[in-house]
Amino acid sequence: MRSKAVQAKAIALGKLAIRATTSAGSGHPTTALSLAHLVTVLMYGVMRWDPARPDAPGSDRLVLSEGHAVPIVYAACTDLGVTVRPGGAARPMTLDDLLALRSIDSFVDGHPNPMLGFPFFDAATGSLGQGLSVAAGLAAAARIDGSAKAIYCIIGDGEAREGQIWEAMDFIADHGLSSVVALFNCNALGQSDRVSPAQDWQSLARKAEAFGWEAVVVDGHDPVAIEQVLRARPTSREARPLCVIALTVKGWGVPDLGGMGHHGTPVTAGGLDAALAALDARARALGVAGIDPGASAAVLTIAPPPAPPASTPATEPVGFMAAVGRNPTVAAAVKETRALSPRRAYGLALEALGAANPAVVALDADVKNSTYADGFAKAFPERYFEARIAEQNMVSAAAGLASGGKIPFASTFGRFLERAFDQIEMAVIGGAGLKLVGTHAGATLASDGPSQMALADVAFMRAFSHVEDKAGRPAVTVLTPSDAVGAYAMVLAMAYSPGAFYLRAVRADLPILYAEDERFPFGGHKVLRCSPNDGPRMVLVASGYMVHGCLEAVEVLAKAGHSVAVVDAYSLPMDTAPVLALAGRGGVVMTVEDNYVGGIGSELAEAAAEAVDAPRVHALAVRTMPKSGRTPNDVLAYVRLGVADIVSAVEAAARNVA
């Protein structure tokens, strides 16, 4: 009876998925059909959740890594009247909602996206290969919370070619996150071709076993077999995680949609009746035509989620000097040199946050002794997730931790976060509050050379800083501290502010510029030197390491009779008006950046070019490919950003003004 109810339900959902994609005029009904039974067994039977509260704490989760299959989940949510929140107000999902799929005024988007008001999902998916890492993050958050929730993740067989899937397989096995169940949807058909033999079900099973998982092969359209394997999932941390290799049929139930050539192609309006009739015929053939899918709810009862675990309240983290004082090595260095690297300040802040707030978690990619995330790792091992040399998985797992209610800091060299730009964008689309920390940024890294220097990071991140997300915030806020006090304050601010952040921290020790109580509001800047006159000014605007180069340059310039202001522009997006006003009409702003173009130079130039009577803006940046050098100053001179270069650029600009 139960098996027949699942069959009837799966067919009903398949029909809804076909109708939705036909209504949209695009989408992936054939992939949806291959998942009809898997999704039905999960959402109507195995998962412990509540359609009225799809994001209730403690609920089992479903991560649809192959996001294009989403119409089958939308169909189930429609059938169940799952709570949605378009525009913020909660109500049950309706058939009209479903049929508005992919229209501009609908929250029912082409791929899963919680930010649009679809709380059943934890993360935006659609760029393939990322879901299993998100699932790992959700599982990690659940473990911290003491929650026994299960996380089911559906992955396409073709999608399994993405290396990130195997990073996630390792990560989950490494950390014993066996509450994650990976389901590979093996329909053997990709978009442009059959899947490679390297992704056939036998290969996937072999690989999963080699990665330390238990692989179980199942008929993906057999309700009893699916349920049996899912109910036998492991529940102990020591057990091998379960990988279900589900053999499925793309376009299941509709012979005309079988085989190659139907990926991402909806049924035409003219063909709709025939497609739906084919599914009806399949229902008759299976002997489930008489079952009312609506009435099957009596058989397909959904178990509610267990009560949420209690959470521990947060306290205030200690201040910078107290954090310094706790570490004798750092305290001695600060006392002696009045200098400290921003990455070291990150490490101190992260540890202080860890002590103050149980929601703070951290990840790093085998460089925690360079980023200084190692203090946190040692102090809070149960909240630290070593991601090894696999940055993509690290970032998506951080997104999962964020969705699971944590405040995840993910650190590595800024250059290596570039490995995860796609994952960062997906996290941002889904509204995950990532706290990214990229250390060793810029050409001042020096000796290791350009393969290790973050240089295009600022242009990429600034693009997002000018995108308003669905919560009305900058999609990413970029922070570049010029000293350890600033770095410390910014890390605390990142932790306690919603949204995604990128802290760009250089490797070098930098002189401390600010008093401990200095505040660094997002969008702000600091005027470090300013000429007393009221007229047009020459203003050097920099961030991070280059602030110090500018301060050195103004000393030189002062001796030559030039009075030059210096601004520490630590934030993108930047409130540009006061910086431009400081230079004033007829003045000159000169930006100095240890990165490729697209940062504060663009920020101020765009504002100046739009305004009337704005000062001129000259942008110094890295415009030649760097190489190794033994000191930061060697490399800065090579890329023409040394103190002497700044001085001569100012002198040339001053000549042109005069």
Helices (H), 125-222: 131-145, 163-174, 201-210
In the complex with a copy of itself, the residue whose CB is nearer, 634 or 651, is: 634
Query: Considering Cα of 250, then 253, then 259, then 265, what sign does the dihedral take?
Result: negative
Q: Shortest gap between Cβ of 196 and a copy of itself (angstroms)? A: 5
Active site residue 382: no
The CB-of-405 to a copy of itself minimum distance in angstroms stands at 23
Cα separation, 221 vs 13, in Å, equals 14
| 234, two tokens | 């492991």
Maximum distance among all Cα pairs of the chain, rounded to whole angstroms: 94
CB of 622 to a copy of itself, least distance (A): 7
Distances 255 to 30, 100, 158, 185, 281 between C-alpha atoms, Å:
11, 26, 22, 19, 11
Min CB(195)–a copy of itself separation in Å: 8
Closest approach, Cβ 174 to a copy of itself, in A, equals 5
Which residues are bridge partners to 372 per DSSP? Answer: none
Which amino acid, residue 460?
F
Closest to a copy of itself by CB, 112 or 305: 112
Q: How far apart are CA 393 and CA 134, in angstroms?
A: 8
183 by DSSP, 3-state: which?
strand
The CA distance from 431 to 124, in Å, is: 8
H/E run at residue 411: strand 407-413
Report whether 404 contacts 364 (CB < 8 A): no
Least distance from a copy of itself to the Cβ atom of residue 490, Å: 23
Which residue lies nearer to a copy of itself by CB, 551 or 605? 605
Residue 499 to residue 430: CA distance in whole angstroms = 11
- For residues 453 and 626, the answer to whether their CB atoms sit within 8 Å is yes
CB closer to a copy of itself, 388 vs 562: 388
Report, in Å, the least distance between residue 570 CB and a copy of itself: 19
Place of tokens 């210096």: 566
Which residue number, 206 or 231, has a Cβ lying nearer to a copy of itself? 206
Side-chain half-sphere exposure of 504, counting CA atoms within 13 A: 35
Whichever of 115 and 225 has its CB closer to a copy of itself, that residue is: 115
Measured between alpha carbons, how far is 35 from 67 in angstroms, rounded to an integer?
12
Closest CA to 237 of 166, 363, 129, 142: 142
31, 283 Cβ separation under 8 angstroms:
no
Q: For a copy of itself, which is the closer residue by CB, 90 or 625?
A: 625
Residue type, 618: H
The one-letter amino acid at 215 = A
Active-site entry in 66, 227, 351, 391: 391
Any idea which residues carry the catalytic annotation?
391
